Amino acid sequence: MTQTKPTPRSIDCDVLVIGGGATGAGVMLDLALRGVRVVLAEMNDLSTGTSGRYHGLLHSGGRYAVRDPESAKECIDENRILRRIAPSAIEDTGGLFVAAPVDPPEYVEPFIKGCAAAGIPTQEIPVAEARKAEPALSPAIVRAFRVPDGSCDSFDLIHAITSAAQAQGAQALTYHKVTAIEVSQGAVTGALLEDRRTGETTRVHAACIVNAAGPWAGEIGALAGLTIKMRHSKGIMIAMNVRWVNTVINRLHPPGDGDILVPVGTVCVIGTTSITVSRPDELTITPQEVTQMLDEGELMIQGFRRARALRAWAGVRPLYEPPSKDNASAEGRAVKRTFSVLDHSSDGVRGMYSIVGGKLTTYRLMAERVCDAVCEQLGVDKPCVTATTILPGPHERPGARHYHTLPNRLDTLEHAPTHTGLICECELVTRSQLEARIAEAGPTVKLDDLRRDLRLGMGPCQAGFCAYRAAGILQQTCDLPADTAIHALRDFVDERFRGNRPLLWGHQLRQALLDESIYRRSLGLAPKESTNGA
Q: Is the dihedral of CA 509, 511, 515, 517 positive or negative?
A: positive
Task: Give residue 419's pLDDT.
Answer: 67
- Among the four given CATH numbers 3.30.9.10, 3.30.70.270, 3.50.50.60, 3.30.110.40, the one describing domain 91-150+232-316: 3.30.9.10
Task: Give residue 169's pLDDT.
Answer: 97
Task: Give residue 396's pLDDT.
Answer: 46
Q: What whole-number distance in Å separates Cα of residue 450 and Cα of residue 319?
A: 30
Cβ proximity of 360 and 54 under 8 Å? yes
Q: What whole-number distance in Å separates Cα of residue 346 and Cα of residue 517?
A: 59
Mention every residue, 6+ apart, whose C-beta is less than 8 A from residue 447.
Answer: 456, 457, 467, 470, 471, 474, 488, 489, 491, 492
* 441 phi, psi to nearest 5 deg: -85, -30
Task: Give residue 4's pLDDT.
Answer: 59
Q: What angle do CA 309, 267, 21 make, to 5 degrees?
A: 100
**Strand 143-147 vs strand 150-152: parallel, antiparallel, or unpaired?**
unpaired
Task: Give residue 327's pLDDT.
Answer: 47
Among 390, 394, 424, which Cα is nearest to 408's?
Answer: 394
Cβ proximity of 457 and 424 under 8 Å? yes
Task: Give residue 511's pLDDT.
Answer: 86
Cβ neighbours around 207 below 10 Å, total: 20
Task: Give residue 2's pLDDT.
Answer: 54
Cβ proximity of 27 and 370 under 8 Å? yes
Cβ proximity of 269 and 105 under 8 Å? no
Task: Give residue 409's pLDDT.
Answer: 73
Reply yes or no: is the peptide bond before residue 202 cis, omega within 30 of 0.
no
Instruction: Kindly give the confidence (pLDDT) of every residue in the chain, 534 residues in length, as a single tens digit, with 9 standing for 90 and above.
Output: 555 567 789 999 999 999 999 999 999 999 999 999 999 999 999 999 999 999 999 999 999 999 999 999 999 999 999 999 999 999 999 999 999 999 999 999 999 999 999 999 999 999 999 999 999 999 999 999 999 999 999 999 999 999 999 999 999 999 999 999 999 999 999 999 999 999 999 999 999 999 999 999 999 999 999 999 998 999 999 999 889 999 999 999 999 999 999 999 888 999 999 999 999 999 999 999 999 999 999 999 989 988 899 999 999 998 887 776 444 455 555 566 689 999 999 999 999 999 999 999 999 999 999 999 999 999 999 999 999 999 998 544 444 567 887 777 777 777 776 667 899 988 889 999 999 999 998 888 999 999 999 999 988 888 999 999 999 999 999 999 999 999 999 999 999 888 888 998 888 888 888 988 999 888 888 877 543 333
Cβ proximity of 158 and 212 under 8 Å? no
> Which regions of the chain carry the CATH code 3.30.9.10?
91-150+232-316
Task: Give residue 461's pLDDT.
Answer: 86
Q: Where are the alpha helices (DSSP H) in 150-235?
A: 154-167, 217-223
Dihedral of the CA atoms 348, 354, 357, 358 (nearest 10)?
140
Among 358, 169, 183, 333, which Cα is nearest to 258's?
Answer: 333
> Which regions of the chain carry the CATH code 3.50.50.60?
9-49+155-230+325-378
Task: Give residue 332's pLDDT.
Answer: 53
Q: Which CATH architecture has domain 9-49+155-230+325-378?
A: 3-Layer(bba) Sandwich (3.50)
